Amino acid sequence: MDANELVYLSLREAANLIAARQVSPLELAEACIARAAALDDDLHAYLTPTFETAREEARIATEEIAAGRSRGPLHGIPFAIKDLYETAGVRTTGGSKLREEYIPAEDAETVARLKQAGAVMLGKLNLHEWAMGGTNVNVFFPTPKNPWDRTKITGGSSGGSAVALAAGYCYGSLGSDTRASIRLPASLCGITGLKPTYGRVSLRGVIPLVWSLDHAGPMARSAEDCALILSAIAGYDDRDPTSVDVPVPDYVAFLEPASATTRPLESVRIGVPRNFFFDPSAIQPEVLAAVSATQPIFEALGAELTEVDFPDPDYYQDNMVFNAESAAYHEERLRERPEELSAAPRQRVAASLELKAVDYARARWRQEEFKQKLRVLMRDVDLILTPTAAVVAFDIADVNPAEPAGPGRILARQTGAFNTLGVPAISVPCGFSASGLAIGLQLSGRWWEEGLVLRAAHAYQGATDWHRRRPPLP
């Protein structure tokens, strides 16, 4: 198989070839390493490649599988990890100068679970400083470039993960999402990213941004691949105070093939909230057109679509909790080493230290009201369909990294509510702008129902090929 075809296999396709002894983990790793070596001086997805240890891990996986000791579909599959996840013996920067030389002694729980499943670790990926932004323009490290147009932003904060997947460097990644940071770069870079239910995936060993809003989750090239990864990383961690002890289903078993003769979403009710998420004054016309064009496809797959009134995100999801909790985490750094925080997070943290406890308490109460209103809404529908991002990727040159707020509000406009709510949400590619920039569709569901979210996304991807498009790279 041609090397360019090899690196653009889905994770499932690569796993099937390994199982059939048609390709080895070492061949996959070498193809991914060669791809990154050819492109990453320009794209800047990696902060710390670990290619030599990856070769050794792939060699061991090849021998284990040949000896009949396969650990499952992730065994021997090359991954690269957002540099917010701690990795034993490998530096974990968090995108910050403060941690430029920090080397953890222990893996994050999710990284440990991937290793237990036999995944091969290629290295650590670029992100926005401290995950505190949506552009991935970072003053301390080279800015990653969008593979569809290298003058455009990748979205953040998991921008390096999205670039690595879109450019063919790996078959899966881990991202984190506090307002948008898995789904936004997935949308802008044309890949698939899932934010699970809050508490479904351990956050232990993931550098925090906002304790009550952070989510860890999979990024890949398809919903099926995200299901495979989620099956490996989900589950209770009694050393993580955010983790919830809820049974983990077989996510792959939820998936049903979509074809012209099947209706895999029969009886699934999808709500379309026109009152905020499709506001033509806030959403680019090409985004609205692409996402609206998905609705007859879902109907053809058997789903029942209906318009719904969604609780007002502008009221229930504000900046108070985000700013207060991120300031609490960074207060000591601001006091002791302010020069090693860039201007934007330094100003944001300093301003947030002046917030009042009573205002924070009111904001947390509004979150509970928001969740209750959603519970009532979700009696009548099973999923919510919206655009992932209000805009397509814009010019890197237009970003001022010293501006505290920056374009974060518009970039996270469509996604932040689902972090406040803590429900699962996925972004899948659903089209391109006239200039060739990726557009994403967001599907969200009830708490703990990642399986249905993945099933709907997988059915859509079975009926379309947007997720199989490749960016114009050498």
What confidence tens digit (pLDDT) does each residue in 435-456 have? 999 999 999 999 999 999 999 9
**Could you read off the pLDDT of 322-373 as tens digits, one per residue?**
999 999 999 988 888 888 889 888 998 888 898 999 999 999 999 999 999 9
Q: Is 157 a catalytic residue?
A: yes
So what's the pLDDT on residue 407?
84
Please give the torsion angle defined by the CA atoms of residues 231, 232, 236 and 239, in that order, rounded to the nearest 10 degrees.
Answer: -160
Does residue 134 carry a pLDDT above 80?
A: yes
- Please enumerate in sequence order all residues whose Cβ is within 8 A of that of 68, keeping only pairs 6 or more positions apart, or say none: none
Domains of the chain (ranges, CATH numbers): 3-468 (3.90.1300.10)
Please give the torsion angle defined by the CA atoms of residues 57, 58, 60 and 65, in that order, rounded to the nearest 10 degrees.
Answer: 140
**Could you read off the pLDDT of 92-115 as tens digits, one per residue?**
999 999 999 999 999 999 999 999
Does residue 261 carry a pLDDT above 60?
A: no
Burial of 190 (0-12, 13-18, 19+ CB in 10 A): buried
Annotated catalytic residue within 10, 24, 82, 195 = 82
CA distance 447 to 181: 19
Query: Residue holding tokens 């490998």?
Result: 90
The neighbouring-strand residues paired with 100 are: none
So what's the pLDDT on residue 3?
82
Element containing residue 30 per DSSP (H, E): helix 25-43
Task: Please answer whether residues 126 and 163 qualify as being in contact, where contact means their C-beta atoms are separated by less than 8 angstroms.
Answer: yes
So what's the pLDDT on residue 340?
81
Q: Is 435 a catalytic residue?
A: no
Mean pLDDT of 169-176: 98
CA angle 385, 390, 391 (to 5 degrees): 135
CA distance 46 to 54: 14
Does residue 268 carry a pLDDT above 90?
A: yes
Mean pLDDT of 64-86: 98
Annotated catalytic residue within 10, 173, 181, 202 = 181
So what's the pLDDT on residue 439?
99
So what's the pLDDT on residue 348?
86
So what's the pLDDT on residue 274?
86
- Please enumerate in sequence order all residues whose Cβ is within 8 A of that of 443, keeping only pairs 6 or more positions apart, or say none: 270, 383, 384, 385, 425, 426, 428, 453, 456, 457
Element containing residue 175 per DSSP (H, E): strand 172-177
Annotated catalytic residue within 10, 96, 157, 231 = 157
Task: Please answer whether residues 160 and 136 qualify as being in contact, where contact means their C-beta atoms are separated by less than 8 angstroms.
Answer: yes
Half-sphere exposure of 462 (CA within 13 A, CB side): 21
For 455, phi then psi, to 5°, come to -60, -45
Query: Which carries the bigger pLDDT value, residue 401 or residue 9?
Result: 9
User: Please, what's the b/e burial string for 132-167 (b: 16 or more CB within 10 A of its CB; e: otherwise)?
Assistant: bbbbbbbebbebbbbbbbeebbbbbbbbbbbbbbbb
Q: Is 181 a catalytic residue?
A: yes
Look at 76-85, 126-135, 405-414, 438-447 and tell me which has the smallest mean pLDDT.
405-414
Mean pLDDT of 416-420: 97
**Could you read off the pLDDT of 186-210 as tens digits, one per residue?**
999 999 999 999 999 999 999 999 9
Does residue 69 carry a pLDDT above 90?
A: yes
Percent of the chain clearing pLDDT 90 (strictly above): 89
So what's the pLDDT on residue 317?
82
Query: Residue holding tokens 């499943």?
Result: 117
The neighbouring-strand residues paired with 269 are: 304
Look at 148-152, 235-239, 261-265, 305-309 and tell me which has the smallest mean pLDDT.
261-265
What token pair was written down for 138? 């970072």
CA distance 288 to 277: 10
How does the average pLDDT of the chain come out, rounded? Answer: 95
DSSP 152: B
Does residue 404 carry a pLDDT above 80?
A: no
So what's the pLDDT on residue 405?
67
Query: Residue holding tokens 């719904």?
Result: 308
Does residue 141 carry a pLDDT above 80?
A: yes
